[in-house]
């Protein structure tokens, strides 16, 4: 029997209790706000003294993620602990779980933070993937199937937002990229004839109940998510039904408890294949903060505390625009604060800034959710917002 479950169901961590967060980025910040709105206090373990989550938490434990004394302090204070990013020490989460409820588990995070283990697990769950090969040596690349070219070489660990990835048209390019990566373990994926990407953000409760939010269609630029669209037209597709079913299968196979995102590719021939798993809330789920009855961060709180999952119902179409640091500079590279007055004059626009002091190219500074009564209206409003922000937007 799962240690989180008693004969009467999951043990409740009542409002007023302390919750722990390993990681102090913007996802942790939004978790803090959701937890505090439900009456919880939050302790954040994060080495950056000016982190987005640390400055809004009830307690900031300023120390490395694997600091034994800091982990003991977090465990002593908090009845339940979670994380906001996948590159946290899986061993630290497993250690914390000896004393406290930890969601997701260190074991699940350890699988997902390694692309080699992650892909094997997805395949075990019966979910289709792009053809790939495990690359652990130059010999593996030299012997890789020619059908994997052109492809994408991805470092097995510590890759996000397009980092640790290289498109390789030939075996020679792959060998060069492998050396540039420092010879670390990789996967080589065959490049797919991609139509577009969708993602599913879902929550799996301690009793195994699953609630999935509506699918988002995603557009990336330079490897970073730029636009997520949650349209009425997409939700009735067989792709979304299949994606939600596949995401639930992956979560069950992992024994996963918490909020999770699974990204899928829709190919030009109509097939749906899994891309990767994020063991946490996700950028493509930020629209839930304004468009849904329960947002993804509140679901994260509900899972770890044993509260019932909230409704994932979304009340209207929505588009999320990611605000990166370049929005704070003009075409000549001079600092220029975005025109917040013009942006917020657009009906249906909701602004979320992360409290980061220094805008830099590619740095996630905030996001904008745009709501509308129907697909046409929300696209019109998003186009207006993008124009104010100086962003490209394709209706």
| 92/89 Cα distance (integer angstroms) | 5
Topology adopted by domain 131-190: Dna Ligase; domain 1 (3.30.1490)
Q: Could you give the angle at the alpha carbon of 22 between the alpha carbons of 247 and 365, nearest 5°?
A: 80
Task: Give start-end residues of each CATH 3.30.470.20 domain in the chain.
Answer: 194-389
CB atoms within 10 A of CB 223: 13
159 pLDDT band (50/70/90 cuts)? low
| 241/121 Cα distance (integer angstroms) | 21
Residue 183: which region, alpha, beta or left (left: phi > 0; alpha: psi -120 to 50)?
Answer: left
The whole-number pLDDT of residue 9 equals 58
| 277/251 Cα distance (integer angstroms) | 10
Q: Is the pLDDT of residue 395 over 60?
A: no
| 321/218 Cα distance (integer angstroms) | 10
How far the first Cα of the chain sits from its last, in Å, is 50
| 141/65 Cα distance (integer angstroms) | 34
The whole-number pLDDT of residue 1 equals 31
What are the two backbone dihedrals, phi and then psi, of residue 354, each rounded to the nearest 5 degrees? Answer: -100, 0
Tens digit of each residue's pLDDT (9 = 90 or more) over 54-100: 999 999 999 999 999 999 999 999 999 999 988 788 999 999 999 99
Contact criterion met (CB below 8 Å) for 249 and 260:
no
Residues that constitute the known binding site: 115, 154, 159-165, 197, 220, 275-276
The whole-number pLDDT of residue 177 equals 95
Q: Is the pLDDT of residue 195 over 80?
A: yes
Size of the chain in residues: 395
Task: Give start-end residues of each CATH 3.40.50.20 domain in the chain.
Answer: 5-112
The whole-number pLDDT of residue 161 equals 54
| 134/294 Cα distance (integer angstroms) | 39
Tens digit of each residue's pLDDT (9 = 90 or more) over 372-394: 999 999 999 999 999 999 999 97
Q: Is 269 helix (H, G, I), strand (E, B) or coil?
A: coil
Output the pTM of the full model: 0.94
160 pLDDT band (50/70/90 cuts)? low
Tens digit of each residue's pLDDT (9 = 90 or more) over 117-140: 999 999 999 999 999 999 999 999
Topology adopted by domain 5-112: Rossmann fold (3.40.50)
CATH class of the 194-389 domain in this structure: alpha beta
CA dist 181 to 158, 166, 186, Å?
11, 9, 9
Tens digit of each residue's pLDDT (9 = 90 or more) over 301-360: 999 999 999 999 999 999 999 999 999 999 899 999 999 999 999 999 999 999 999 999
| 302/321 Cα distance (integer angstroms) | 27
Nearest one of 204, 203, 199 to 215, comparing CA atoms: 199
The whole-number pLDDT of residue 140 equals 96
Contact criterion met (CB below 8 Å) for 297 and 32:
no
Nearest one of 321, 212, 307, 281 to 28, comparing CA atoms: 281
Q: What's the whole-number mean pLDDT along residues 37-53?
A: 97
- Asked if residue 256 has a cis previous peptide bond (ω within 30° of 0), the answer is no
Task: Give start-end residues of each CATH 3.30.1490.20 domain in the chain.
Answer: 131-190
Q: What's the whole-number mean pLDDT along residues 12-39?
A: 98
| 84/82 Cα distance (integer angstroms) | 7
Q: Is the pLDDT of residue 162 over 80?
A: no
6 pLDDT band (50/70/90 cuts)? very low
Residues that constitute the known binding site for ATP: 115, 154, 159-165, 197, 220, 275-276
């Amino acid at each position: 029997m799962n240690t989180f479950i008693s004969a009467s169901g999951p043990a409740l961590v009542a409002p007023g209790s302390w919750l722990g967060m390993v990681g102090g980025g913007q996802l942790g910040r939004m978790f803090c706000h959701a937890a505090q709105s439900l009456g919880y206090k939050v302790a954040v373990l994060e080495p950056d003294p000016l982190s987005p989550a640390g400055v809004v938490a009830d307690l900031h434990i300023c120390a490395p993620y694997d600091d034994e004394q800091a982990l003991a302090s977090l465990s002593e204070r908090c009845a339940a602990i979670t994380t906001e990013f996948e590159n946290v020490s899986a061993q630290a989460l497993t250690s914390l779980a000896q004393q406290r409820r930890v969601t997701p588990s260190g074991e699940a995070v350890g699988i997902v933070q390694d692309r080699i283990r992650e892909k094997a697990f997805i395949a075990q769950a019966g979910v289709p993937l792009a053809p790939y090969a495990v690359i652990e040596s130059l010999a593996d690349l030299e012997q890789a199937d020619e059908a994997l070219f052109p492809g994408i070489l991805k470092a097995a660990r510590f890759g996000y937002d397009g980092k640790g990835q290289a498109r390789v048209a030939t075996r020679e390019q792959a060998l060069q990229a492998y050396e540039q990566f420092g010879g670390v373990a990789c996967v080589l994926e065959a490049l797919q004839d991609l139509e577009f990407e969708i993602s599913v953000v879902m929550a799996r409760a301690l009793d195994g109940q699953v609630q999935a939010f509506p699918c988002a269609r995603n557009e990336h630029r330079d490897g970073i998510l730029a636009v997520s669209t949650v349209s009425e037209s997409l939700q009735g597709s067989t792709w979304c039904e299949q994606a939600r079913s596949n995401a639930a299968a992956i979560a069950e196979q992992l024994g996963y408890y918490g909020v999770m995102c699974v990204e899928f590719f829709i190919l030009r021939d109509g097939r749906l294949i899994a891309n990767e798993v994020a063991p946490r809330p996700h950028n493509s789920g930020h629209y839930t903060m304004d468009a849904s009855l329960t947002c993804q961060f509140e679901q994260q709180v509900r899972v770890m505390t044993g509260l019932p999952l909230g409704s994932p119902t979304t009340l209207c179409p929505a588009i999320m625009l990611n605000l990166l640091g370049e929005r704070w500079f003009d075409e000549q590279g001079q600092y220029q604060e975005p025109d917040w007055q013009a942006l917020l004059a657009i009906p249906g626009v909701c602004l979320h800034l992360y409290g980061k002091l220094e805008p830099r190219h590619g740095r996630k500074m905030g996001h904008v959710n745009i709501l509308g009564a129907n697909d046409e209206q929300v696209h019109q409003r998003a186009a207006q917002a993008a124009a104010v922000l100086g962003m490209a937007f394709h209706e």
